Amino acid sequence: MSEPAPDIRLIAVDLDHTLLDHDLRVPERNRRALAAAAERGATVTIATGRTHESAERFALELGLDAPVISYNGAMIRRPGELEPMRHVPLPADLAAEIVERLVREQIDFIYFHDNVLHAQRFDHWAWEYLERTGDRPVVTGDMRRLAGAEPTKILLMGSPEETLERYELFAREYRGRVYATVSLPQYVELLHPEATKAGALRWLAGHLGVPMKSTMALGDSLNDLEMVQAAGVGVFMAAADEKLRAQADFVPDSAEGGVAEAVERLVLAGARRADGGES
C-alpha cells in the first residue's frame, strides 16, 4: 500500500516467525515499535496457535494490557485470569472420532484439553514442542481414554510432506465440521470451525468497540491468512509463502524486524502526520 493506514486502534501479531526471531525472542526493534503504538492508544494483542500460557509470558514481557488470542483463535483470555472471555472447543463426539482415526493410522498428535497437553508418548515431537514453546506434554498413552472431553484443539505432527497431505485430507473430509490449518511446516491444527484467528480478531474488535477497518494483523503462515484478510490492514512477513504474501496489504523487507517495519510505516508514521509532525 502506498499510504499509511489511518487510525489503527487494534494490532494483532502472531508469535513464531513473525514477532519472534530464530532464537524465539522479541527483537528490540519490534519491542520498541509495539510499545510506541500502545503509547499512542492502540491495543496490541498476541494472536497465536500456541497455548495461552505460552503466549501469556510474551504479553507480560511486553507489558501488553490486552486479552491474548491463543490456540489459533479458539481462546481469548486476559493475562493473569483463569476464565477465558471466549472459548470454542471441538465437540466431544467429533474429537473422539478424530482421535480414533489418528490412533488407527498411527499419526503423532497432541490433544489440548483444560490447559493440559496430552501425548501418546514423549518422543522427539513432544520434545520439540517443549523446546519451542515451553509447554510440556503429559504422556497419556492410549488417547482414546480421553473420549467425552472437548479439546481446545488437536495438533498433528509430521514431515512437511505429511503435513501438506494431512491438511488437504482433513480439510476436505471434515469440511464444515472442523477448521483445519497449518501453523508450521510440521503442524496441522484441527479446531472448531469458529476457532480461527479471524473470528477471534472480529470478536475482540467488537468487544473493544474497534471497527475492523481500524485493525492491523501480522502473520507468516496459513493459519494467519483469514486474520490478515479480515483486518483493515493485513501484513505477511517477508519469509511467508509467495501465495500468502500476495494476499497482504503490506510485506516488510526486514526478516526479523518485519513487525517493527510495518508498525513504523503504517501506524506510527500516520500518527506523526496526524500530529503535524515529520512524515
pLDDT tens track for 190-229: 999 999 999 999 999 999 999 999 999 999 999 999 999 9
Tell me the C-alpha distance between 69 and 190, whole Å. Answer: 16
Rounded to 10 degrees, what is the CA torsion of 52, 54, 56, 59?
Answer: -130
Q: What is the pTM of this model?
A: 0.92
How confident is the model at residue 239, as a pLDDT? 95
Q: Domains in the chain, please, with CATH?
A: 10-86+196-274 (3.40.50.1000), 89-191 (3.30.1240.10)
Q: Residue 191 has what DSSP assignment?
A: E
Residue 82 CB contacts under 8 Å (≥ 6 apart), including other chains: none
The rounded percent of the chain whose pLDDT value lies above 90 is 92
Sign of the torsion angle spanned by Cα atoms 41, 195, 129, 118: positive
How confident is the model at residue 270, as a pLDDT? 63
pLDDT tens, 64-102?
A: 989 999 999 999 999 999 999 999 999 999 999 999 999
User: 53-75: b or e for each residue (b if 16 or more CB lie within 10 Å)?
Assistant: bbbbebbeebebebbbbbbbbbb
Mean pLDDT for the chain overall? 94
Location of C-alpha cell 515451553? 134
Q: What is the CA radius of gyration of the chain?
A: 19
Residue 2: pLDDT band (50, 70, 90) is very low
Residue 272: pLDDT band (50, 70, 90) is low
Query: Contact 153/74 with Cβ under 8 angstroms?
Result: yes
Q: Mean pLDDT over residues 242-246, rounded?
A: 97
Tell me the C-alpha distance between 255 and 91, whole Å. Answer: 39
Alpha helix (H) ranges present in the chain?
28-39, 52-62, 92-104, 124-133, 160-173, 197-208, 225-230, 242-245, 258-263, 269-274
How confident is the model at residue 146, as a pLDDT? 97
Q: Mean pLDDT over residues 175-202, rounded?
A: 97
Q: Which of 4-13, 222-231, 261-270 has the lowest mean pLDDT?
A: 4-13
